[in-house]
């Protein structure tokens, strides 16, 4: 009974959050000073167009993008198009539809992030748990190394790796996602080529993820190892293997949140890593769009991130309801 009420209340909250997020997503880019059409038209102006021609183009663009409409109308159009799967056309790459731009970038980001996050999570948690359990020199070396990777700014680690592995040793190409003259397609030749470019950003993300997870897991496991229930289970003759499952179940809780959050924010791309390695994922797309005041692209990317984060969080809350009875009880007011 508690579970059903818990799920219903969670679903309600997340739908509400989604509505607020979509409204903000619509408003925020429009509150940034600077009209994108001004930017486009002034760019044309440098080509020596007459001011009359510029005015005509300006008006046509305003109409085309619906910017001459009142805010309220723009919002209705925006919502309707979202439901039709239409995210508008890019200003900067007019008239390319935003969905095409995303379709080009998203696969690169996913291919990079999913393995880095999952592998980093698994390796990091195992390392952290082992460090906590073994203690001593094991713990010291794992903990220190993890802390270094976890605390180091992304760009710092990325640049060091870039310099050592690509420039000094020349093992990997220093940037991009595939060789010049190649283009994304479903062929073996493209994949082997792209794999070369994939390793470097992948390794840098993996190391950072391992570091973060290992630090978190280690402290959770140490805390759990010292808790009363471990001692009591021991006094009842329960074996080490069984006890490890108790410890893991409790130590895992915050780690699952971490995993869900990174999966949620994943679609936003690893902004800095992608920029350092000139990797054409969602991070690069978003960065360029912001620089160009490309509203539709910015909005589309933030919308996708918002939805992904909300969905991931929702899944965590549902999962928690099953794993941890205390959360279920306190959230549904059952106590």
Partner 1 sequence: MTKSLMRANNLTAVYAADSGQDVPAVDNVTLELPEGQILGLAGESGCGKTTLGTALAMIANPPLYVVAGTLEIDGNEINLSTLPKNANQVHRPYRGETVSLLPQGAMNAISPTLRIRDLVVDVMRAHNGSVTKADALDRASDRLKMLEMPTRVLDSYAHQLSGGMKQRMVTVISTLLNPALLIADEPTSALDVSSQKALIEMLLAMVEAKIMRGVIFITHDLPVLSMVTDRLAIMYAGKVVETGRTEDLVNNARHPYTAALLSSVLDPTEDTRTKHVLGIPGSPPNLGNPPSGCRFHPRCKFAMDVCSTTEPKMLSEGDHDFACWWAKEHPRETIPMEVTHA
Pick between residue 100 and residue 334 the one whose CB is nearest to partner 1: 334
Contacts of 96 (CB under 8 A, 6+ apart): 89, 90
- By the rule CB under 8 A, 329 interacts with partner 1: yes
Q: Which of 229, 254, 278, 333 binds partner 1 (CB under 8 A)?
A: 229
Q: Which of 99, 233, 257, 265 binds partner 1 (CB under 8 A)?
A: 233
- By the rule CB under 8 A, 257 interacts with partner 1: no
Whether 254 contacts 216, CB under 8 Å = yes
Q: Which of 136, 239, 256, 263 binds partner 1 (CB under 8 A)?
A: 239
Rounded least distance, CB 28 to partner 1, Å: 40
- By the rule CB under 8 A, 323 interacts with partner 1: yes
* Cα 27 to Cα 24, 71, 73, 286, 296, distances in angstroms: 5, 9, 13, 17, 12
Q: Within its chain, how far is the Cα of 101 from the centroid? A: 17
* Cα 100 to Cα 95, 96, 122, 233, distances in angstroms: 11, 7, 34, 57
- By the rule CB under 8 A, 235 interacts with partner 1: yes
Give the separation between CA 179 and CA 183, rounded to whole angstroms. 8
- By the rule CB under 8 A, 136 interacts with partner 1: no
Cis peptide before 279 (omega within 30 of 0): no
Burial of residue 125 (CB within 10 Å: 0-12, 13-18, 19+) is: buried
Q: Which of 4, 30, 140, 249 binds partner 1 (CB under 8 A)?
A: 249
Q: Which of 66, 153, 254, 325 binds partner 1 (CB under 8 A)?
A: 325
Pick between residue 4 and residue 249 the one whose CB is nearest to partner 1: 249
- By the rule CB under 8 A, 70 interacts with partner 1: no
Residues that bind partner 1 (CB under 8 A): 227-229, 231-239, 242, 246, 249-250, 323-326, 329
């Amino acid at each position: 009974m508690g579970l059903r009420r818990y799920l219903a209340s969670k679903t309600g909250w997340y739908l509400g959050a989604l509505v607020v997020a979509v409204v903000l997503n619509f408003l925020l880019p429009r509150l940034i000073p600077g009209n994108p059409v001004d930017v486009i038209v002034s760019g044309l102006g440098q080509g020596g167009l007459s001011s009359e021609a510029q005015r005509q183009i300006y008006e046509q663009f305003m109409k085309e993008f619906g910017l001459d409409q009142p805010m309220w109308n723009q919002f209705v159009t925006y919502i309707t198009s979202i439901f039709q799967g239409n995210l508008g056309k890019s200003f900067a790459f007019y008239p390319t539809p935003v969905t095409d731009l995303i379709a080009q970038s998203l696969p690169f980001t996913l291919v990079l992030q999913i393995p880095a996050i999952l592998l980093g999570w698994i390796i990091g948690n195992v390392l952290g748990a082992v460090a906590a359990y073994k203690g001593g020199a094991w713990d010291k070396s794992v903990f220190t190394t993890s802390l270094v990777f976890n605390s180091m700014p992304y760009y710092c680690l990325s640049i060091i790796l870039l310099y050592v592995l690509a420039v000094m040793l020349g093992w990997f190409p220093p940037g991009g996602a595939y060789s010049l003259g190649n283009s994304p397609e479903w062929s073996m030749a493209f994949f082997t080529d792209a794999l070369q470019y994939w390793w470097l950003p992948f390794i840098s993300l993996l190391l950072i993820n391992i570091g973060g997870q290992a630090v978190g897991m280690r402290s959770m496991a140490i805390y759990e190892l010292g808790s009363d229930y471990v001692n009591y289970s021991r006094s009842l003759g329960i074996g080490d293997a069984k006890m490890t499952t108790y410890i893991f179940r409790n130590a895992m809780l915050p780690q699952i949140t971490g995993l869900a959050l990174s999966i949620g924010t994943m679609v936003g791309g690893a902004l800095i890593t992608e920029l350092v390695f000139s990797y054409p994922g969602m991070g690069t797309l978003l960065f360029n769009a912001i620089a160009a005041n490309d509203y539709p692209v910015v909005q589309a990317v933030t919308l996708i991130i918002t939805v992904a984060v909300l969905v991931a969080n929702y899944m965590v809350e549902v999962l928690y309801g099953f794993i941890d009875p205390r959360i279920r009880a306190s959230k549904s007011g059952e106590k």
